[in-house]
Amino acid sequence: MKSGKKQELSNTKLLGIAGMGWMFDAMDVGMLSFIIAALAAEWSLTPGQMGWIGSINSIGMAVGALIFGLMADRIGRKHVFIITLLLFSIGSGASAFAGSLTVFLILRFLVGMGLGGELPVASTLVSESVPAEKRGRIVVLLESFWAGGWLIAAVISYFIIPSIGWQAALLISAIPALYALYLRMGLPDSPRFAAVKTKEKSSVLHNLTQLWSKEYSRQTAMLWVVWFCVVFSYYGMFLWLPSVMVMKGFSLIKSFEYVLIMTLAQLPGYFTAAWCIERFGRKFVLVVYLTGTAASAYFFGTADSTALLMAAGILLSFFNLGAWGGLYAYTPEQYPTVIRGTGAGMAAAIGRIGGVLGPLLVGYLVAQKYAVSTIFTIFCISILIGALAVFLLGKETKKQELV
């Protein structure tokens, strides 16, 4: 009984420490969507330049996911966990002092590296540290901290950016991340990584080629497709959400207010996914929530009234973020410990390529005067392709012991 209670407390502590970093990451990404809208007015940015701000962040995330995913299988999950948060904190704080778009883009690249490296490594560390029967639920709950970060970002953006400025918002996001860094120092590394630490490790090239070996090629193909489609759609839609609201005729303040309301729907999306994932399985959660995301995206793009726009936006947040929770729980379960960091990192890196293209595509289509409905229909189709990949190629991993 005591050992069970101790394990539960340990899981809770791990979830809290990892979740704090996740929350600060979400604060940064969430505020970026509002900052893009503010910078467009302050620096007179074109739609193409606005698209590049979101895309350079995703380029950094792709590089970070690749490099730090490989490093996680070499030096351990904990060390990479600390390095990535440090990189994110410094880059985010320094972004507040950027005086030009070029400097801002360079710093956003560094922030993106930290973000891109941390997220798959965090889910890998948590996956390897909790019992199989609780693993899916706890990883989805870890992802739920993302909603908390987005809510804080929306509140800060609503109250701080219009009155004090976007610089203050960035400084606010960077300072508490240093506290999370302090907490992380005492965190033990993954017990599964520690178990293989004394054994001879494979080379980086060997780990990469293993992803496409006969044993793992199906999982890898499925993950790369679903990660690309989900990240392409998420960053294309959500980084442009406040700006799309402005395009639909709302003021900047009113668009911030509506996005804040939509963001509240992320929390029940996570919690229902956490409940479903251990009862109905990973595939069920991903296919159902991705299909719900696709339908919501279509109706959001075609909404012709405020009520329909809000309803579709709320459902979009609910289903999309629930799907993200399922994806982060599902991804580390596809590979053994020796290549888990590499596999999760590569899948995330492929996804981040989609994150580069999504905001750029929106910027281009907006500049070409394409309708918002056309833009969101593209994202609807993309998400359906991701759901189909999981349905056809995915294997159920519910309560499966990691090796």
In the chain, what are the domains?
12-182+204-393 (1.20.1250.20)
Give the separation between CA 201 and CA 340, rounded to whole angstroms.
13
- Percent of the residues in the chain that have a pLDDT greater than 90, as a whole number: 32
Contacts of residue 74, Cβ cutoff 8 Å, sequence gap at least 6: 201, 204
Cβ neighbours around 200 below 10 Å, total: 5
pTM value surpassing 0.85? no
Q: Tell me which residue of 318, 348, 381 sits closest to 116, measured CA to CA.
A: 348
pLDDT digits (tens, 9 = 90+) for 325-379: 899 999 999 999 889 999 999 999 999 899 888 888 888 888 888 888 899 999 9
The phi, psi pair for 295, rounded to 5°, reads: -65, -40
pLDDT of residue 88: 85
Please report which confidence band the pLDDT of residue 8 belongs to, taking 50, 70 and 90 as the band edges.
very low
Q: Is 99 exposed, middle or buried (0-12, 13-18, 19+ CB in 10 A)?
A: exposed
Question: For 223-235, how does the pLDDT look when each residue is reduced to its tens digit (9 = 90+)?
Answer: 999 999 999 998 8
How many Å is the Cα radius of gyration of the chain?
Answer: 20
Identify the CA nearest to 24 among candidates 81, 106, 104.
81
**H-assigned helices in 202-265:** 204-210, 217-238, 241-247, 252-264
